[in-house]
Every structure is written in C-alpha cells, then in structure tokens.
C-alpha cells in the first residue's frame, strides 16, 4: 500500500506526520511512502532528507491524495482535504470527533475510513500510539522553558561571589502527562517545585519526581472520574483548593496550570485575586488556554503582562514550537498505528474492528460513522 503525508494547511502549524526514520520503518512494513514537497520544512526535514529515506516527493496535496491508500497528517483535516478523500481510503490524524461531527459525517458519506489519534484508548498496549501523551509531554517541558525565558532570574539557587540567588518557586496545578513533564523539567532546572492534583494517586508520582505534593484534607475519591481522568470538584472542595492556592500566590514565582476535565471547560483555579497577589516579574503559563484557561485572565494564543507585572502566557501551540521533536514522536505514534494495521508486515492493511485499539480509534468505516466507540467495563 502507499502511505502519504501532506503539508498542514494552517500556516502556524510546523509539525509533520512523517519523519525520515518513520518512513524507513513503514517501508519495512511493506508500504511505499510519498510526501508533499515542503511538508517537513518547518520541522527541519527537507525534501532531500525524505528522498534519502526512500520517500517519493510529490508536488501537491492533491497528488498525495491521488497516490496514497492511507494519508496521514497532524491536525484535523480541512473541508477541502475531506473533499479529496475517496472510497476505501484511510485518513489518520487528530480529529476531535465531538467538535467536528459534520466533517466526520462527510468523510463517512465518501466511504473513507478515519482514524482519530485522539481516540486511541489510554491502555498499556496502546501507549506507543498515544499521541495525546507524546504531545502533552512536549507541552509540559516547553511550558517550563517558556516560563524560564520570561522570568528574570535563575530557576536554580546559587551562591556566587556576586551574591546569593534564591531558587525560583514553581507551582504546577494538575499532574497529568503535561503536569508531570513540567514538574520534572522544573526540578531538573533546580527550582523548588510544588504540585497539586485532585487525583490522589498523583501524590506519589509528584514526590517521586522530587517535587512537593500540596496536601488537601478531603475525601480521597473527590476528584476521581472515569478512565483515570478527573471529575468536576464539589463547591466545598473547590473552596478549600482555592484557599490553598491563595496562600501560595504571594510566594510563588512561576505557575504552570494544566488542569482539565474531559469534555468540559477548564476549571478556574488561578483567580484574579491570586494573580494580583503575585510578585512583579512572576510568570503564569496556562496550558489549559485551549479550553478557556485555568486562569480567566489568560488570553488564548497570546502573552500578556498584567498591571502588577505578571506575565501570563496562553499559547496553545507548544508542541509546534518544538516541531522537529514533536514531529518525530507523532510520526512514531502513527507508524505504530500502521504496524497494527499491517499484521503480516506485507504492505496489506487489515482493518480489524475486533481489535480494541483499532476499533476505538476508528470514527468512520465502510460508509458509517463508528464514533463513539462501545463503552467497556474494563477499558
Ligand atoms: P488531562 O489533560 O485531562 O488533565 C490534566 C490533569 O488535570 C489531570 O491529572 C487531572 O487530574 C488534573 N485536574 C483536573 N481538575 C483539577 C483540579 N481542579 N485541580 C487540580 N488538578 C486537576 O489528563 P491527562 O494528562 O491526559 O491524563 C490524566 C491521566 O490519564 C494520567 O495521569 C493517567 O492516569 C491517565 N493516562 C493513562 C495512559 C495510559 O495508560 N496509556 C496514558 C495517558 C494518561
């Protein structure tokens, strides 16, 4: 089969769904690879690097859609891209079906198969395809780098001939994949790191990474939702949590917020009075900006400085800001999906809807919308 990758249509998106290394692995599975000219340029993969890896470079997205049996990209497809799909063809990308139902129906009507990388079930066997985690890991790392770059002091403490510098104090709110990556990065840069999450099991993870878990005296099951995710907090819990943060605000130099609850607006956890209580020069990076922000002063995709000198960063494209790294990891996630779709390593796609990982990721197949996937008792 032919596997093709196109250039992302948003000018701000620098990632690409094929790396030279993943192309070589795909060929070992028996697939030929094609790519749109220039697709990897912003991720530092020039056309010639792909050619050297055995990839054929084609002139346009249309040429890739015409040639390939499976097309892959990073972001959800545009209307025009869905228009180019044909019966029996497969498209692999992030899709967020709940937000793109019309587009999904259109692809189903065309008889195309859509595989949504954001629907890969978060079970151990599927970790190698878990692009949400590989991208969240990059976002957490980059959030700290971005904060450090906007903070006027060292993160680590120092005693030098020129004076004593205290270590920066960083608070990470939400210790999921991005939060844990952020606190790991922050501790390795020498900051004093504190973290909080509503899921009690995160305490051990936070402490094992050298950070302090901020303890809240409450029922253990309060924040636990389905599938390892968080549930909305009760008003009493929220009040206690805000009181805890209010105490921290005057002392903390950098806050990284990552708190999300599936299918909801991000909870407001860093309130305006907390921002006002922070010292001038402090920095907030709100990784929940895409979902409305954990801080309501956050402006999506922008960096602002408040009247009291606090920088609030609301960028939503952290993985794209490290395009070579994120493309390499995303391309590996996609390549693993292709490996599961090619069980005999003979270049033949077997779309096994009895396989949980393939079933749950498939949102349209054989003319039907197959989203949402069936509920399972033990996912
Ligand atoms: P996410 O992006 O939905 O949420 C980020 C974090 O915010 C979560 O840890 C959540 O508990 C936390 N949060 C929500 N409300 C909060 C509040 N009011 N205060 C503080 N924190 C709050 O989650 P995610 O990072 O995608 O994943 C969360 C969990 O899912 C993981 O830690 C893990 O348990 C599970 N997971 C499993 C796998 C796997 O098995 N393959 C892969 C990825 C994630």
- Look up the ipTM and state it: 0.95
pLDDT for 232: 86
118 CB less than 6 Å from ligand 1? no
pLDDT for 354: 97
133 labelled catalytic: yes
Cα 25 to middle of ligand 1, angstroms: 31
Could you say which residues of the chain have pLDDT below 70?
Answer: 220-221, 378-379
pLDDT for 221: 67
> 365: which strand partners?
368
- Sign for the pseudo-dihedral over CA of 123, 124, 125, 129: positive
The number of angstroms, rounded, from the C-alpha of 32 to the middle of its chain's C-alpha atoms is: 28
pLDDT for 229: 85
Per-residue pLDDT reduced to its tens digit, 200-232: 899 999 999 999 999 887 776 677 777 778 888
pLDDT for 161: 97
Ligand 1 pocket test, pick from 174, 242, 361, 378 with the greatest ligand atom count within 8 Å of Cβ, gives: 174
pLDDT for 36: 98
127 labelled catalytic: yes
- In this structure, what token pair is assigned to residue 305? 């400085």
pLDDT for 378: 59
pLDDT for 233: 87
Q: What is the CA angle 82-7-131, rounded to 5?
A: 80
In sequence order, the 6+-apart residues with CB closer than 8 A to the CB of 315 are 146, 289, 301, 302, 303, 321
Per-residue pLDDT reduced to its tens digit, 259-302: 999 889 999 999 999 999 999 999 999 999 999 999 999 999 99
Cα–Cα distance for residue pair 124/140, rounded to 1 Å: 21
Contact present, 196 and 205 (Cβ < 8 Å): no
Q: What is the pTM of this model?
A: 0.96
pLDDT for 220: 64
């Amino acid at each position: 089969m032919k596997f093709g990758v196109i250039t992302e249509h948003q000018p701000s998106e620098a990632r690409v769904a094929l790396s030279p290394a993943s192309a070589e692995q795909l060929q070992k599975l028996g697939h030929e690879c094609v790519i749109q000219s220039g697709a990897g340029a912003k991720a530092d993969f020039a056309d010639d690097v792909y050619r050297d890896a055995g990839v054929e470079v084609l002139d346009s997205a249309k040429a890739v859609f015409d040639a390939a049996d499976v097309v892959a990209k990073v972001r959800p497809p545009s209307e025009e891209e869905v228009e180019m799909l044909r019966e029996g063809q497969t498209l692999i990308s992030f899709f967020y079906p709940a937000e793109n139902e019309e587009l999904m129906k259109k692809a189903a009507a065309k008889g195309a198969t859509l595989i949504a990388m954001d629907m890969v079930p978060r079970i151990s066997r599927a970790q190698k395809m878990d692009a949400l985690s590989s991208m969240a890991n990059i976002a957490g790392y980059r959030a700290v780098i971005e904060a450090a770059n906007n903070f006027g002091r060292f993160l680590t403490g120092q005693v030098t001939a020129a004076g004593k510098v205290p270590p920066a104090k960083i608070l990470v709110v939400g210790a999921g994949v991005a939060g844990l990556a952020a606190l790991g990065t922050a501790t390795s840069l020498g900051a004093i790191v504190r973290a909080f999450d509503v899921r009690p099991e995160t305490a051990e993870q936070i402490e094992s990474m050298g950070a302090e878990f901020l303890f809240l005296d409450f029922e253990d099951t309060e924040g636990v939702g389905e599938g390892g995710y968080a549930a909305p907090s009760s008003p009493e819990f929220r009040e206690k949590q805000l009181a805890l943060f209010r105490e921290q605000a005057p002392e903390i130099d950098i806050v990284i917020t990552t708190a999300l609850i599936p299918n909801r607006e991000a909870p407001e956890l860093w309130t305006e009075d907390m921002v006002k209580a922070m010292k001038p020069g402090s920095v907030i990076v709100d990784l929940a900006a895409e979902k409305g922000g954990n801080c309501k002063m956050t402006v999506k995709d922008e960096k602002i400085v408040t009247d009291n000198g606090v920088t609030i960063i609301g960028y939503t494209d952290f993985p794209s800001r490290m395009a070579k790294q994120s493309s390499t990891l995303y391309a590996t996630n996609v390549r693993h999906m292709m490996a599961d779709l090619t069980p005999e390593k003979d270049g033949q796609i077997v779309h096994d809807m009895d396989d949980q990982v393939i079933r749950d990721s498939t949102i349209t197949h054989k003319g039907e919308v197959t989203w949402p996937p069936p509920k399972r008792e033990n996912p």
